[in-house]
Amino acid sequence: MILWWPMYSIIDVDKKNIELIDEFLSKCKKSLETFRYFNSRDIYTAISCHEATIVLKWRNELIGYAHLDKEGDNTWLGVCLIDKWIGFGIGRILIEEILKRRSSETIRLSVDKSNKSAISLYQRYGFQYKYDLSDSIILMELSYDTNL
């Protein structure tokens, strides 16, 4: 099932509505086992480094989150979904929306090797395996051709 446009909205998050991230994260359970971005970062500090941050709202419920985080010369993609919404096309919507907001030519992400569905989704958008970051996590990268 793919969500239809009248039912969902994409909200750009900044310091004025940052509480949306807290609200979203409070509803995540198992997803936070693989989306560890905020384990070592304060939300308020992290968002100041973001090129873009969005949440996806389905009716009145926040069900998805994505960001592009500028860290030195690298821009990192982060995507997280509420557990019960995995497999409904939310990841696709979030990736398409957040990549529209990119300013970098290269986007990186780290993903658990065991998360085959996420790896497959990222590959559909052109992300390629680069190397292992650890025994359980890989680095993927998307490079835009600047000569087009």
Q: Is residue 56 part of a domain?
A: yes
Q: How confident is the model at residue 147 (pLDDT cuts 50, 70, 90)?
A: very low
Residue 8: closest CA among 127, 76, 96, 103: 96
Position 4 scores a pLDDT of: 54
Note the pLDDT tens digit of each residue in 40-97.
889 998 898 899 999 999 989 999 999 999 998 899 999 999 999 988 999 999 999 9
Position 11 scores a pLDDT of: 96
pLDDT of 102 above 70: yes
How many domains, the chain?
1
CATH number at residue 92: 3.40.630.30
> pTM for the whole thing?
0.90
Q: Is residue 65 part of a domain?
A: yes
Q: Is residue 148 part of a domain?
A: no
C-beta separation of 8 from 57 below 8 A:
yes
In angstroms, the CA 148 to CA 112 distance is 32
Burial of 78 (0-12, 13-18, 19+ CB in 10 A): buried
C-beta separation of 56 from 94 below 8 A:
yes
Both tokens assigned to 65: 């989150």
Domain range for residue 29?
5-143
| 19-40: burial string, b at 16+ Cβ within 10 Å, e else | ebbeebbeebeebeeebebbee
Q: What percent of the chain has pLDDT over 90?
A: 74
Q: Is residue 54 part of a domain?
A: yes
Q: Is residue 36 part of a domain?
A: yes
